[in-house]
Amino acid sequence: MANSHFKRGELYSVINAMAAAAVARRMQKNFRDAGLDITIEQWSVLYHLWKEDGLSQQDLCNRTFRDKPSITRLIDNLEKLKLVKRTTSKYDKRKNQIYLTDSAKDLQQHTIDLANKTMDEALVGIAKDEIETVKIVLQKVYDNLNAEVK
């Protein structure tokens, strides 16, 4: 049974997914407690649009690391909430450009404050240099797994 133990990655893998889940749940709860009717997944799309309005769906896929159907449906639901509008690009008929509505723009500050609140709650007792290490390692993990899969 020596080799049936999940080598090295066990605690790492379990904790990695669990920490991410814990952050996600807390943030969703903070949104909900604040009376906000958006999911954190929707928020992550809005977040990128606040930074650069008019992105294509493919851009959003790349930036949020989701696949095309997932983005299509997230945008469907954001349209229903009147937070984004989909328009066809005038340069490439295959592309949609996704624009924020005024309602969405009004949400930016409040939701980012809540996100910061969430991170404050998550990062209690953790030193800045530790956070830096985590960022660098997780970025490396991400790059390792995405460089190969072209």
Partner DNA sequence: GCCATATAGTTGTTTATGCAACTAATTTCA
Partner DNA sequence: TGAAATTAGTTGCATAAACAACTATATGGC
**Considering only residues 63, 66, 105, 117, which one is a binding residue for DNA as defined by CB under 7 A?**
66
Own/partner pairs, 32-36, CB within 8 angstroms, 24+ separation: 34/110, 34/114, 36/107, 36/110, 36/111, 36/114
Backbone conformation region of residue 125, classed left if phi is above 0, alpha if psi is from -120 to 50, else beta = left
Question: What would the x/- binding string for a second copy be over residues 78 to 107, using CB under 8 A?
Answer: ------------------------------
- The site partner of 115 among DNA, a second copy, none (C-beta below 5 to 8 Å per kind) is a second copy
Instruction: Please report, as ranges, the residues that interact with DNA according to CB under 7 A.
Output: 21, 24-25, 28-29, 39, 41-42, 56-58, 61, 65-70, 72-75, 77, 86, 92-96
